[in-house]
């Protein structure tokens, strides 16, 4: 059974988006399902375009499945309006998670969906016993969740990165203490027979 949460759209939503609430008064966060793949991919394409497959973090996701129990979507009615997934990685000899990508329907980007997805994903990661998570993203945005660049100073990604955007968060006290070295993808590989669009290129 999916674990899910329901949320009302933000009271700070601009007028036209508040009007949109009359059609979609709430959004719900639930575990991603196999049937969500095509719609999730369309949302990611709309948010990032094909450049998403050229990013350094994609090298850590290539050919791998997302971390078990850590893929979520936000829905409004029957539509997927947000997506987030976390991935298993290793930093030297230390296990960690990589967060991303996070994407929200452009029409609802001020409705609090991104924040709710992140908070939901981090809660689940803590519950599952993960100790730390990193990402490459907007520092002022992710700082509100406790992410900081100082924690990644000894991490080495397999490609170029803006160090000010390379951020991490300890999910447990000392969870990333002493972590250093090359960051590599970990976790299960995608089955060779699975759908190319839905698995191998899904980022």
Q: How far is CA 40 from CA 32, 75, 87, 89, in A?
A: 9, 11, 16, 22
pLDDT band at 110 (very low <50, low <70, confident <90, very high): confident
Half-sphere exposure of 143 (CA within 13 A, CB side): 7
Residue 23 pLDDT more than 70? no
**CATH T-level assignment (fold) for domain 4-186:** Aminopeptidase (3.40.630)
Q: How far is CA 192 from CA 151, 157, 195, in A?
A: 36, 26, 8
pLDDT band at 140 (very low <50, low <70, confident <90, very high): very high
Residue 33 pLDDT more than 90? yes
Q: Supply the pTM of this predicted model.
A: 0.84
What percent of the chain is modeled with pLDDT above 90? Answer: 74
pLDDT band at 2 (very low <50, low <70, confident <90, very high): low
């Amino acid at each position: 059974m999916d674990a899910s949460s329901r949320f009302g759209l933000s009271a700070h939503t601009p007028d036209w988006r508040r009007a949109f609430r009359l059609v979609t008064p709430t959004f719900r966060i639930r575990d991603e399902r196999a049937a969500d793949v095509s719609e999730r991919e369309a949302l990611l394409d709309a948010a990032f375009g094909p450049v998403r497959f050229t990013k350094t973090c994609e090298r850590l996701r290539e050919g791998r499945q997302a971390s078990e129990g850590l893929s979520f979507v936000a829905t409004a009615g029957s539509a997927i309006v947000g997506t987030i997934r976390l991935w298993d990685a290793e930093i030297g000899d230390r296990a960690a998670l990589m967060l991303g990508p996070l994407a929200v329907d452009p029409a609802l980007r001020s409705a609090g969906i991104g924040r709710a997805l992140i908070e939901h994903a981090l809660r689940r990661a803590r519950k599952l016993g993960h100790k730390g998570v990193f990402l490459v993203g907007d520092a002022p945005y992710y700082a509100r969740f406790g992410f900081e660049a100082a924690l990644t100073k000894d991490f080495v990604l397999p490609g170029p990165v803006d160090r000010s955007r390379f951020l991490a968060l300890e999910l447990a006290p000392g969870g990333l203490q002493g972590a250093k070295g090359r960051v590599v993808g970990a976790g299960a590989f995608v089955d060779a027979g699975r759908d190319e669009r839905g698995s191998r290129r899904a980022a």
